[in-house]
Amino acid sequence: MPFVKRDETGKVISVSQERGPGFNEDLPNDDPALVAFFRSVGSEALPLYATDQDLIRVLEDVVGLLIGKGLILFTELPVEAQRKIMRRQQMRSEMGESLDLIGED
């Protein structure tokens, strides 16, 4: 169970996996105060996370462009990066045109 620190109004303001100074109260994972805390923290980071998928696609396109222009070789990338890129290319290929974000103009 996580340990929580509360403010003067009783609102959960911090969570720790370990008991420590100020973290004396343990709560079950489904406690409403704990759930509210994680929702508030998640909502602050949501705009950043929402752009992650777009940025991933941009990076894939940049890597593809660099390879296409011969500036880097695919085999120069770490093996795990090669696997991930190939897997995503395969998945996009299987999904076909449903991922065509720009289209033909």
Task: Enter the pTM of the model.
Answer: 0.48
How far apart (Å, rounded) are the C-alpha atoms in residues 70 and 72? 5
How far is the C-alpha of 37 from the C-alpha of 99, rounded, in Å? 36
Distances (CA, A) of 88 to 10, 42, 45: 46, 27, 25
The model's confidence at residue 93, banded by pLDDT at 50, 70 and 90, is confident
pLDDT over 90 at 73, yes or no: yes
* Spacing of C-alpha 34 from chain mean position: 21
Using 50, 70 and 90 to split pLDDT, how confident is the model at 63?
Answer: very high
- Report the alpha-carbon distance of residue 12 to residue 100 in Å, rounded: 44
